Amino acid sequence: MEEFNLNEVDRLLTTTRAVRKRLDLGRPVPRDLILDCIRLSTQAPAGGNYQKWRWVIVDDPDKKRVIAEAYRDAYAPYIKAQKSVVTEKTSGDSTVEKIMSSSDYLAEILEKVPVLAIPCSLGTPADMEGALGGGVQGWWGSVLPAVWSYMLAARSRGLGTAWTTLHLRYSERVGKALGIPETITQLACIPTAYYTGERFRPGKRKPAEQVTYWNAWKETNIQSN
């Protein structure tokens, strides 16, 4: 049986963080490196092996600006609503405050990130409605593993990424700027850059025992931290 270095595999899986503030905005990312990440992402499982994912990689400043403006247009009302709710429920929570701060920062500098990767899929989730194979869940399950594989591959090569979707509120505007047909579904926008600093640590998470139920669902009182 082929063996893996589990320490290294576990380190990759536990330290692939959403990187917002530590993106190196001044260091270009070679296209060959992005292609390496995409090449690995295509090995992800896909329903029926249809391989419907496609990637639009944006490093043109003007086109990145279009994406960033769409993102900010969606971000402004979203974060205003989120902050009012979060302030009431988690006042003084430093982790939440850090997330909000890093989210604000990413929105401000998005067009300065060297690469904005737009993963796409042929067709739409509606194509699976009423079909065999899990419907909408099956559709998304056939494309999202490839996106996560891209992010893992990027992390292993010294690149930071973050999963963002707010620009999708204006996907038609972005699609027009990038020449993406209306029959294609944009899945996310993944800012990609070398990261600054030396290392990432595993995030604070709920214990596996608290989120795992054997053979039947069980209601549990799980604290947010």
Residue 205 lies inside a defined structural domain of this protein: no
Residue 142 lies inside a defined structural domain of this protein: yes
DSSP for residue 202: P
Residue 215 lies inside a defined structural domain of this protein: no
21-to-17, 55, 82 alpha-carbon distances in Å: 11, 24, 20
Judge whether residue 67 has pLDDT over 90.
Answer: yes
Digit-coded pLDDT (tens) for 88-131: 665 666 777 888 889 999 999 999 999 999 999 999 888 876 55
Residue 125 lies inside a defined structural domain of this protein: yes
Residue 140 lies inside a defined structural domain of this protein: yes
The 3-state secondary structure of 70-116, one letter per residue: HHHHHHHHHHHHHHHHHHHHCCCCHHHHHHHHHHHHHHHHHHHCCEE
Judge whether residue 223 has pLDDT over 70.
Answer: no
What's the total number of domains in the chain? 1
| Encoded amino acid at 225, one letter | N
Instruction: Kindly report the pTM of this predicted structure.
Output: 0.90
Domain that holds residue 42: 13-200
Residue 33 lies inside a defined structural domain of this protein: yes
Nearest-Å Rg of the Cα atoms of the chain is: 19
Q: What is the CATH number of the domain that holds 162?
A: 3.40.109.10
Judge whether residue 222 has pLDDT over 70.
Answer: no
Residue bearing the bigger pLDDT, 87 or 57 = 57
Residue 87 lies inside a defined structural domain of this protein: yes
Judge whether residue 164 has pLDDT over 80.
Answer: yes
d(CA 19, CA 103): 10
